[in-house]
Structure 1
């Protein structure tokens, strides 16, 4: 049985934690504007 793999998804680096994160379906419409990997990082951004 083959597992479903997603090797070619776009990746970005989070501006807060500097870790890479992959494209998610919920970001489909606004991937160009996504800057943070999680809600926690978004709340803890430096202003």
Structure 2
């Protein structure tokens, strides 16, 4: 078992916050760019992330 601190991290392309690897992303980790569905949807709409709003 790995500790959470030992998991790889990336920075969200939409909001700029760091996020850690998840088991469901095991096969597609190289392609993951966003920390959440909300950030992914906002990026598709072309909306910039705003401070204080995060799902």
Moved over 3 A (4+): none
Q: Could you tell me how far apart the structure 2 residues matched to 1:6 and 1:21 are?
A: 11
Q: Which has the higher contact order (CA 8 A, sep 6+)?
A: 1
Q: What is residue 40 of structure 2 aligned with on the other side?
A: 42
Q: Normalising by the residue count of structure 2, what TM-score does the alignment of the two structures yield?
A: 0.72
Q: Normalising by the residue count of structure 1, what TM-score does the alignment of the two structures yield?
A: 0.84
- Higher gyration radius (CA): 1
Cα RMSD over matched residues? Answer: 1.7
Gap runs ≥5 in structure 2: 48-55
